[in-house]
A and B are shown apart, each in its own frame.
Chain A
């Protein structure tokens, strides 16, 4: 083999080996770090595999927010107007978190079926609804008007 041929062969082998390793590791990392999204009805219906880390989206039920006075623990209920899921969170909630507003929470269910949230996200302005939440609520809202204004 001529020198430049040998170089080219080595190069191609090096690149394909590197790419295969990268793709393998990437897919592994992806499979370990994706969060599936569920609606409160799906959670209540037991569709979430036990112990799985997942996301839930819905409205914060009116009158459900309960803060403890001496800590940052907070309990509230999220709803899609069909089923409800209680959520427990410790920490500072986003600015636009309020009763009757759409949120997305992420975490695991405990033995009692309470979502222990590691993160709570709220929409970023008063006209906007996260698409997941909008989809979760589609057709379920008790109000006659659309659940959000695009």
Chain B
């Protein structure tokens, strides 16, 4: 019964979504306020019934109902309960349901927090999101029904969840990533609604901005967790592979980064309007493209669950409709909303434009490298793969290019500023950073490394820009006490995210430059030195886990006379699938990680072992977390709370930018 209830709920949700896509939009065209005001109710209906469907599938997983095809294929009675639950989204059908659930969650949030907005705007936004929901619910119901039964031959037990996915990382990584991915549909819907209404002003940017920041923040956290998961779970100790599936989530992030900054200009100054709308359309289109790449089976990846061409075709058509439709609308409406340039070359607007250029170009570069093999294959021009060297060669210089501007941006003034003033503000801090960059690597390492010096220089420059801004805002030394009230959540969020970016750059460069890695054969009693640490293999044993058998190796790590850690890496064999899994053991700290992974037994009592010394690798994820949390923090800003219509209209009027 339970799966049937779920299926029925999903169908009802589809009907509600159809209503949401059509009725309020019709109301907006005809000026029918009853139809307009139905939008929030319909959105809640979608959430309610998708929620029921999701709960029913969760119950099926937790109760080991192997008559349901996805449960039989992706769960097992021996699986711990928490993994039975997360197995729900460890497969194509279930993850799609999670996608729709999160989309309806965003719709409900928009209708909940938008009391101050004109009802016609809310109706249009929700209606656009309703159209997206129609697309994805149809996709789920027609090609990927999660409630399909295996009758009458019900399997006795399930196939098990892929061991790689039996990990706490999988419990939170996909939902966070989807929050970001799907969250980008909100600025998209706002952009489309604004184009439809022909009203594209500063107040529109103010409504759209907090949603964009939140979605982008979640996307940052999701990507960060994915990288962290790959690091400890795949057993290679790598943290970014330029894998097409990683790129699929990274492209919306890059575009989202441009959007977040461009929205700031549109909100504060009313310029970049058409461009901002275009970025919002592209950011969400790239989310959809990512979904297509991951779900259509064109890619070789751990995320490419067994899939069939029909699904790929469905998403491709949907993608074409969304991108084509919104660009057509843009072409028809954007000329009427274009703004005139009313700023000079030396101004905050120009600096933010540099950000936009760099991040847009970065997106195009990643897109090119990701799609190139697919396009060549589609036209039968040969099978290619594009490796990390390409991405590193092009992406790294671009990031280095944007960093000098990052420090100046927050200190600069809107509209018109002077280079002399920037020099005055940043000359002393800049000199300090240069000295630091030259001296610091010498203090720590024996050899001078030019890349690390550059990383310290650029990251330090970004950090000093943030600190200088903080200093100035607080009015240190002005004699009037510290002005704490100037530290708004907006500012703190920006500062946190920028410091996070500097931290990511430091971590990435240092671990790439100073990483030490050794693959070798070890027996009990063997000793190896790496990064100044002594690794001794002291014991080998065999242990049973809940649903696997593990070979364990015990390593004692010492530095001089000091005991540092005991690490126990494992090689697991899972019962249900017979699949082998490397469970790496890591001793982590702020300054370095020690990483041990078992390869395979080579001869009696000897194992292939990979030892790694990874300095400052944690700065990467720390930085990623700061970027995400910084973005989320900005929403606490008071100006987003007071969104009454009259006020935003007044602001728009005062700045001479009304529709």
Contacts and interface: CB of A to CB of B under 8 A. Distances in A.
A93 B608 CA distance: 9
B582 interface: yes
Contacts of A125: 162, 164, 302, 577, 579
Given A33-B389, A33-B393, A34-B386, A131 B602 contact: no
A18 B385 contact: no
Given A72-B599, A125-B164, A150-B306, A26 B394 contact: yes
A82 interface: no
Contacts of B383: 36-37, 55, 132, 135
Main secondary structure of the interface of A (DSSP, over half): mixed
Residue with the highest number of chain B CB atoms closer than 10 Å, among A25, A30, A55, A135: A30
B600 A93 contact: yes
Interface stretch (B41-49, B259-267, B365-373, B556-564): B365-373
Nearest to A22: B361
Contacts of B519: 72, 90-92
A96 B581 CA distance: 8
Contact of A37 (B384, B580, B582): B384
Given A33-B386, A91-B519, A96 B579 contact: yes
A26 B386 CA distance: 12
A51 interface: no
A128 B306 CA distance: 7
Given A34-B372, A34-B385, A55-B385, A126 B579 contact: yes
Interface string B555-597: 0000000000000000000000111111000000000000001
Contacts, number: 114
A67 B602 contact: yes
Interface stretch (B293-301, B325-333, B536-544, B620-628): B293-301
Contacts of A11: 345
A90 B599 CA distance: 12
B390 A35 contact: no
B580 A30 contact: no
Nearest to B580: A95
Q: Interface residue tally of chain B, by bracket? A: 35 or more
Given A33-B389, A34-B386, A72-B520, A126 B302 contact: no
B21 to A, nearest CB: 33
A112 to B, nearest CB: 24
A124 B298 CA distance: 15
A106 to B, nearest CB: 8
Interface of B: 162, 164, 235, 297-298, 300-302, 304, 306-308, 340-342, 344-345, 357, 361, 365, 368-369, 372-373, 382-387, 389-390, 393-394, 398, 519-521, 577-582, 597, 599-600, 602-603, 608, 610
Enumerate the 10 nearest inter-chain pairs by beta-carbon distance, A residue then B residue, closest first.
A37-B383, A92-B599, A33-B390, A29-B393, A95-B580, A33-B389, A130-B300, A124-B302, A125-B162, A34-B384
Interface of A: 3-4, 7-8, 10-11, 15, 18-19, 22, 25-26, 29-30, 32-37, 55, 67, 69-72, 90-93, 95-96, 104, 124-128, 130-132, 135, 149-150
26 contacts: A3-B344, A18-B357, A22-B361, A22-B394, A26-B368, A30-B369, A32-B389, A32-B390, A33-B386, A34-B384, A36-B382, A69-B603, A72-B519, A90-B519, A92-B599, A92-B610, A95-B579, A95-B580, A95-B581, A96-B580, A124-B162, A124-B164, A124-B302, A128-B306, A131-B300, A135-B383
